[in-house]
Amino acid sequence: MILFRFILFFLSLFSFTNLLATSIDDGKSGNSSDLIYLQGIYERGVNYGEQGNIIKSFTTLDSLRTAKLTAESGKIKSQGMLYLALASSKQGNHKYATVYADLALFFGKDSLSANEIIVIYDLMISSYDKLKNKSKVLEFSTLKKVIEDSLNAAKIQFEVDSLKQLVEEQKTKFINDSIQKSKQQQLSQKNQDAANENNFILYISIFIVSLISILVLVFSFRRNNKNVQKDIITTNEILKPQNNSVKQSNSLVEKLARVELVFIRAEVLGEYGNKKAVVKIINDYNTQLPLIIKNLDEAITTNDNEPIINALSYLKPYLTAFGMSATLAMLNEVESEAPTEKTTKLLSRVFQIRNHIRRAHDESKALIDLLG
């Protein structure tokens, strides 16, 4: 542990010198945006680590942070940060492990697979557990469960598709066999009619079985989602600022500003003009938020963009009322990309929106305590 801390201290003081020395030592130089050059840096850093040269390994891989981030370089940068995170965890420096793991998530947000994200979440959970940070352990455990549920749903969908394909193959085989048999069985018109009738009944039975299999899967994913949506209030039920109270009440805004706010904007909430209106909006939000989050989590597990967007749509009036413009912009961005992007490309921003509304919930409770 002492050796590892000394190495980190040494890196923080002489990172530039060591990086230059590494470049000279290997006889290479190049543009940080050059993928071949970046891959070479990553491979050298890993080789140093496997050879036990911890200082050179950390210095070389840490230099990837400053490389220009592009869609192509993000994967290499993310791999380098993950290697450092695992090395830090192995050395017992769990704080640095969380920092590098977070960088791995950031650089690889558009390139990491679901299984790679789970590996990073496991590292986060283990490191924060060592650091006694229970809230972070719970947060990343929840995120990991959401992705695992999504993967399980995709696995079930694959099995159903395989079942449908098997049924179709059996149906085709059955039809071919029936045609072959019909050519061989010309004994009488009565026997031929009976064979055709039996074939039709069996065809209908196979079709019904296939249809039931598909419907059962679809209903099992969406039943709870639709039930929860019925319990969420419509956007028309949220109060709008009255024409006679468009001007902010300075005293109300000043009072709201006494609470340390990060997401909720006191000056925007103050536009509702009076304490009663503000309390009603906050109480509505605190009442509906558990249902909205439950609805959103269940929508994420379906691995389908449409139910996720439907769940997010209930947040818009609250984000507007609270002045959470950055979160609202992120939500609108997810909505605009949903028709063409895969769900896995949207999940990181959906998780950020989820974290924002939960933290706004804490701020709203503090405002209610203040307003009384």
User: How far is it, in rounded angstroms, from Cα 239 to Cα 245?
Assistant: 12
* pLDDT at position 185 over 60: yes
pLDDT at 218: 38
Angle in degrees, 0-180, between the axes of helices 134-184 and 114-130, rounded to the nearest 10: 150
Identify which of 104, 209, 212 has the alpha carbon closest to the alpha carbon of residue 167: 209
Average pLDDT of the chain to the nearest whole number: 79
User: How far is it, in rounded angstroms, from Cα 85 to Cα 81?
Assistant: 6
User: How far is it, in rounded angstroms, from Cα 331 to Cα 316?
Assistant: 8
User: How far is it, in rounded angstroms, from Cα 150 to Cα 143?
Assistant: 11
pLDDT at 70: 87
Strands (E), the chain: none
State in Å, rounded, how far the first CA of the chain is from the last one.
Answer: 51
* Token couple for 190: 């009565």
- Give 157: exposed, middle or buried? Use CB within 10 Å, 0-12, 13-18, 19+: middle
User: How far is it, in rounded angstroms, from Cα 302 to Cα 299?
Assistant: 6
pLDDT at 69: 86
Q: Are 32 and 38 in contact (CB under 8 A)?
A: yes
pLDDT at 232: 52
pLDDT at 240: 54
Q: Hey, which CATH number is domain 2-132, 3.20.20.70, 1.10.10.10, 3.10.20.30, 1.25.40.10?
A: 1.25.40.10
* pLDDT at position 225 over 50: no
**pLDDT higher at 15 or 207:** 207
* Token couple for 225: 């989602």
pLDDT at 170: 79
Q: Which residue has the tokens 């066999």?
A: 177
Q: Is the dihedral of CA 208, 212, 213, 218 positive or negative?
A: positive
pLDDT at 169: 82
Give mean pLDDT, residues 87-106. Answer: 92
C-alpha distances in angstroms, 197 versus 184, 204, 210, 287?
17, 11, 20, 60
**Strand, coil or helix: 234:** coil
If you compute the radius of gyration of the chain from its CA atoms, what whole number of angstroms results? Answer: 29
User: How far is it, in rounded angstroms, from Cα 298 to Cα 225?
Assistant: 6
pLDDT at 9: 43
DSSP string, 257-295: TTS--SSS-HHHHGGG-SHHHHHHHHHHHHHHHHHHHHH
Q: Where are the domains of the chain?
A: 2-132, 154-222, 232-371
> 168-177, 241-250, 253-262, 272-281: lowest mean pLDDT where?
241-250
pLDDT at 196: 61
pLDDT at 41: 93
Find all residues with CB under 8 Å of 340, minimum gap 6, and list them. Answer: none
Q: What is the DSSP letter of 133?
A: -
Identify which of 299, 301, 291, 298 has the alpha carbon closest to the alpha carbon of residue 361: 291
Q: Are 312 and 249 in contact (CB under 8 A)?
A: no
User: How far is it, in rounded angstroms, from Cα 49 to Cα 123?
Assistant: 19
| Nearest 10 degrees: Cα torsion 361, 365, 366, 367 | 100
- pTM as predicted: 0.39
* Token couple for 228: 């929860």
pLDDT at 227: 45
Span 141-172, pLDDT tens digits: 999 898 888 888 777 777 777 777 876 887 77
Identify which of 67, 1, 5 has the alpha carbon closest to the alpha carbon of residue 36: 67
Give mean pLDDT, residues 48-55. Answer: 91
C-alpha distances in angstroms, 115 versus 104, 139, 152, 344?
14, 18, 12, 11
Conformation bin of residue 258: beta by default, left when phi > 0, alpha when psi is -120 to 50: alpha
Chain centroid offset of residue 76 CA:
21
